[in-house]
Structure 1
Amino acid sequence: MTILSQHHYHPLRSSHHAGLDHQRRCPMNVHCSTTTTTIKPKTKPKPEQLVIEQTRLVTPPPSVTTTTCVTLNYLSLQSTWSHRAWVASGCTTLAVSLVKCVTAAAESHMWFEPILAGLVGYVLADLGSGLYHWGIDNYGSASTPVFGSQIEGFQGHHKWPWTITRRQFANNIHALARGITFTVLPIDLICNGPILHGFVAVCSGCIMFSQQFHAWAHGTKSRLPPLVLALQDAGVLVSRSQHAAHHRQPYNNNYCIVSGVWNEFLDELKVFEALEMIVFFKLGVRPRSWSEPNSEWTEENESPSQITLH
């Protein structure tokens, strides 16, 4: 009772001690408040957001869903410095061959034969593009040596053909430019004949740029340059309507993609069907064109549930 009375007689002292006791009991409360207001931990972005930003490379047509867009963006459509270097190398190699042809023709006053050789090269390039296109469309896989990446690319092209119109130029032709460099460069170093170089320059040039002719065949008329439209209408380059037949059932025709001049001849004589039968009976390998129309490499651009993700 005496202790209680002392508290009543000294109110200021009691309140002072009470304040000190309160400060001793709650020093961390003040410190925590200060820490909370001055130190802000960095928030890590969600992984999903990073993936979406990094893979947003192309804009699909309205009919293609967001799920399809994210899947397709794993295929890089952008040109790299390596792609550009190979294209520059291929173009330089072709230019050397063409200059040698013109120089030798001028010295020998022989123009008709080199020009004729160039025309032959142009026609054979179309045939070669068809044979090559048929081969990688129907045989092999992504694991095939040397040609695996191109086979995989063409299978993706059959599934989403509109992506080729968004692929940058050097990205589109760099693989062919690399092959042309290794093939034509030795000829440039060894040979000087105008006829040979007339054939080589035109044939290899058409082969190297065939993928760009292919891309133009998928382009809309309003977006193509007038010169390209004129060449397509004249039959110099493969036309849009002719190549469109290649992406319709039964998916086994119109393989040539330079001028398309061979397509009607090869399809009417069923040359590729005969080659497929030979391969099947000799090696037991079925071409992909024998598959059902709903096989994994046919065109799809509908809802996510109808799309097989790779």
Structure 2
Amino acid sequence: MSILPQHHHIIHHAAAVGRQYHHHRNHRVYCTSTTRIKTRPKLEPLVINTTPLVTVTPPKIDDPSLKSTWAHRAWVATGCTTVLISLANSIIGSIDSHIWLEPILSGFIGYLFADLGSGVYHWGIDNYGDASTPMFGSQIDAFQGHHKWPWTITKRQFANNLHALARVITYTVLPIDLIGHDQPVVMGFVGMASGCIMFSQLFHSWAHGTKSKLPPVVVALQDAGVLVSRSQHAAHHRPPYNNNYCIVSGVWNKFLDEHKVFEALEMVVFFKLGLRPRSWSEPNSDWTEEAETFSTTSLP
């Protein structure tokens, strides 16, 4: 096989390189180069804030928030006075006009209205707003705490428990007493409705009471369905916490729950205002009842 001139040149060049490599085989060759390497950003450790937004603890037996003040007592006295004025006007008007059936019926309707109103109000503050909500914030906050520690309502003193509603009744009913004092039917409705609304928190407290510690007449009224029963209201404090809202007699609870009235109202509020009720969320620890930590001694 013949070798072309260019091939002969390549062979000689390769031999020369080989001799050169053999001559320098004991020498080390160092190469340096610079390469830009992207450095990873320094990662800070992930810290999860486990501190609750609001530290909430159950009230103690001597907590001032459970005791009545003279301002509370004054408001309850004023509220009771406006209710008694309404009932007295109804009775006097019935005697003067010789009618009895209509004022009695209007009073019964007022009693039913109070139970329905307590349910609607209870549903609203259970599902919407928070402690910062204007006008209703304190009530919303109190009812949310009530779900966690429902037994605290039985530890509140009488005027402490009723003063907020008594103040509302005073501002609402007193002008009606002055304007409609000569209307026995109107006064019968207003007197019974306002009285039941003002004392609804007392009925509510009795629904959380122990049968052996309640007056026998209260137990009899609860068993007869005149006042909301302990067993009926206990269902409100069990999951899913979205039923049995009425706290006067509870007579409306079955109708409202079976016909899903509040669920329909929640849909209306959601589509009109975009507000989701709390009952649509899975109940968290704020809804879970904690055991009573009070001593058995009642407040004075």
CA gap of 1:164–1:79, structure 2 versus 1, over 3 A, is same
| Matched residue, 1:88 | 77
CA gap of 1:70–1:246, structure 2 versus 1, over 3 A, is closer
Q: What SS does the corresponding residue of 2:85 show, helix, strand or coil? A: helix
Q: What SS does the corresponding residue of 2:291 show, helix, strand or coil? A: coil
User: In the alignment, which of 240, 243, 253 is matched to residue 243 of structure 2?
Assistant: 253
Q: TM-score, normalised by structure 2?
A: 0.76
Matches within 5 A, 1:1-310: 76-191=65-180, 192-301=182-291
| Matched residue, 2:35 | none
Residue ranges of structure 1 left out of the alignment (5+ in a row): 1-66, 304-310
Residue type of the alignment partner of 2:72: H
Q: Determine the C-alpha separation between the residues in 1 that align with 2:232 and 2:77.
A: 30
Residue type of the alignment partner of 1:196: V
Residue ranges of structure 2 left out of the alignment (5+ in a row): 1-55, 294-300
Question: What CA deviation, in whole Å up to 9, does each residue of 1:283-303 have, x standing for no partner?
Answer: 221111122132423323399
Higher-helix-fraction structure: 1
Q: Determine the C-alpha separation between the residues in 1 that align with 2:64 and 2:265.
A: 32
Question: What CA deviation, in whole Å up to 9, does each residue of 1:251-292 have, x standing for no partner?
Answer: 000000000000000000001111111111222211111221
Count of paired positions: 237
| Matched residue, 1:36 | none
CA gap of 1:69–1:131, structure 2 versus 1, over 3 A, is closer
Runs (4+) of structure 1 exceeding 4 A deviation are 67-75
Q: Determine the C-alpha separation between the residues in 1 that align with 2:58 and 2:82.
A: 37
CA gap of 1:166–1:74, structure 2 versus 1, over 3 A, is closer
Shift of 1:72: 8.6
CA gap of 1:250–1:72, structure 2 versus 1, over 3 A, is farther
Residue type of the alignment partner of 1:177: A
Amino-acid identity (%): 74
CA gap of 1:69–1:257, structure 2 versus 1, over 3 A, is closer
CA gap of 1:267–1:75, structure 2 versus 1, over 3 A, is farther
Moved more, 243-252 or 273-282: 273-282
Q: What SS does the corresponding residue of 1:100 show, helix, strand or coil? A: helix
| Bigger Rg, which one | 2
Q: What SS does the corresponding residue of 2:66 show, helix, strand or coil? A: coil
CA gap of 1:72–1:297, structure 2 versus 1, over 3 A, is farther
CA gap of 1:119–1:135, structure 2 versus 1, over 3 A, is same
Q: Determine the C-alpha separation between the residues in 2 that align with 1:168 and 1:102.
A: 32
